[in-house]
Chain A
Amino acid sequence: ILNVEQSPQSLHVQEGDSTNFTCSFPSSNFYALHWYRWETAKSPEALFVMTLNGDEKKKGRISATLNTKEGYSYLYIKGSQPEDSATYLCALLTTSGTYKYIFGTGTRLKVLA
């Protein structure tokens, strides 16, 4: 069973700071890696889908990279804003039998104004 780890568990940054967090996994035996942003009392929002080693995706101030050979994905936020405060979840879409997500425990980001 794949074990997805995210670090750090939580962090506080000042408005305007750039930050990044990590999703690590022991095996590249998955179909795709997804990043979600989950704000309190709202639905998790899909940010990125990545499938190939070396993939890089960008949406505004947020970007992500995937390295399947070394088993990690990074999520970067440039110039953090208070509205970026949320839990960021990494999920592997697994291919063993049914397609389903294996989630990490998430990184809780708080951006201080």
Chain B
Amino acid sequence: GAGVSQTPSNKVTEKGKYVELRCDPISGHTALYWYRQSLGQGPEFLIYFQGTGAADDSGLPNDRFFAVRPEGSVSTLKIQRTERGDSAVYLCASSLGAQETQYFGPGTRLLVL
């Protein structure tokens, strides 16, 4: 079946611009996660959705970052006033439930110039 998909694959933007990153989870998966991998680091947790609600957003670095999942399926990660330090690979994952194995998308590579 279809896996987790993410768009765009790559995004180049200028400092100060707004970007949106999209995640399409596996159908039927209620749990959705966003992670960020900066150069030389492992992926770091950003936010977790159970259904439509953000159950844990403790990993969002500051208020420029926001994510939504209005219908409990597709999620969008939004970054306002991008900074060069936001450059990273943004990974989305979904799972059947909170304790289940997470299945990842291929990531969006964001470069802020």
Contacts and interface: CB of A to CB of B under 8 A. Distances in A.
Contacts of A75: none
B45 A34 contact: no
Contact of A99 (B4, B35, B98, B107): B98
Nearest to A103: B42
B51 interface: no
Interface string B25-57: 000000001010000111111001000000110
Interface residues of B, number: 26
Contacts of A105: 40-42
Interface of B: 3-4, 9, 33, 35, 40-45, 48, 55-56, 58-59, 91, 98-99, 101-107
Interface of A: 4, 6, 31-32, 34, 36, 41-44, 46, 49, 89, 91, 93, 97-106
